[in-house]
Amino acid sequence: MRTFEIPAIGACMLVEKTQEHYELFGSDGQAVVYFENIPQMVDKARWLLERPQERRRLAAKAHRLIAEGSHTYASRLHSILTEVGCGVSA
């Protein structure tokens, strides 16, 4: 859930490069910054710390993707209930 909670509160995300993250946030620099190993994570964290405007842009974009997409707690609960066959309606 941190994948959704962090952008929901408006924080910039430096995340591990995974297929799930790509599906949620798009390519590197679109809404988040990705890393593949610890040295790269440190380098990219330093890069972000030097760029407050870029951090704000990334945070805003990731927030919009979560808040305006189907990633709220309500939409996730709806998906779960639908998946298990509880027949909820929107």
Tokens 């979560």 belong to which residue?
66
Dihedral sign, Cα of residue 13, residue 69, residue 28, residue 31: negative
**The pLDDT value given to residue 9:** 92
**The pLDDT value given to residue 71:** 63
Tell whether pTM > 0.85.
no
pLDDT per 10-residue tile (average), the chain, 90 residues = 86 95 94 98 98 98 85 72 71
**The pLDDT value given to residue 60:** 97
**The pLDDT value given to residue 42:** 98
Phi, psi of 29 (to 5 degrees): 85, -5
